Amino acid sequence: MFQTIVLTYDGSTECRDALADGIALATRFNARCHLLAVLPPMNSMAIASGYIPEGLLDSDQAHYNGILEEGVSRLRQAGVQATGTLKTWVDPSQAIGAFAQETGADLVVIGHHRRSTLERWWRGSVGHHLLDHLPCSLLVSMHDDSAKRALAGSDDT
């Protein structure tokens, strides 16, 4: 059913849970996995100010590469064929969609980051954008604590 799976990963608890779900699916379907981390570009205000501390870009990239390597290592330890890719992109949902198309993904797995209504309005929702624009199936993995709160009726969003 699923031969190529794109897993998004930023090292957060939500993405770690999504990675575990992706590992389970990849193992079940013997699928190839592509782990994607999206590095936001340098803030335009910082660029406009003219002062960018030396090594800042390298430091950010090294941080995201470390997160990516940790995720790929988890996949490989589970016996899943995996590659890792770091993309620099302003809008993560566009980066995910373009990467899914580039890799010929059958499925994209993302973690659900619980946010307030105001925060979603201000920052947007990656999941909502992907639902409308993704060229394949989408699995939104719920973090265990979030799912338990929602089932208990204490969801504050």
Containing 54, the helix (H) or strand (E) segment is none
pLDDT of residue 145: 60
Cα 13 to Cα 104: distance, rounded to the nearest angstrom:
27
Task: List, for the chain, all residue ranges whose pLDDT scores fall below the cut of 70.
Answer: 42-57, 115-125, 144-157
**pLDDT tens, residue by residue, 51-80:** 555 555 677 788 889 999 999 999 999 999
Gap between the Cα atoms of 113 and 12, Å rounded: 9
Provide the edge-to-edge strand list for the sheet that holds 137-141: 82-88, 32-39, 4-8, 107-111, 137-141
40-50 tens-digit pLDDT: 776 554 545 55
Q: What is the reported pLDDT for 83? A: 96
The pLDDT score that the predictor gives to residue 89 is 84
Q: What is the pLDDT of residue 122?
A: 61
Please determine, looking at this structure, whether the domain spanning 4-152 carries the CATH number 3.40.50.2300. Answer: no
Q: Would you say the pTM of this structure is higher than 0.85? A: no
What is the reported pLDDT for 153? 54
Say how far apart CA 125 and CA 127 lie, in whole Å. 5
* Domain map (residue ranges) of the chain: 4-152
Residues facing 137 on adjacent strands: 107
d(CA 29, CA 119): 36
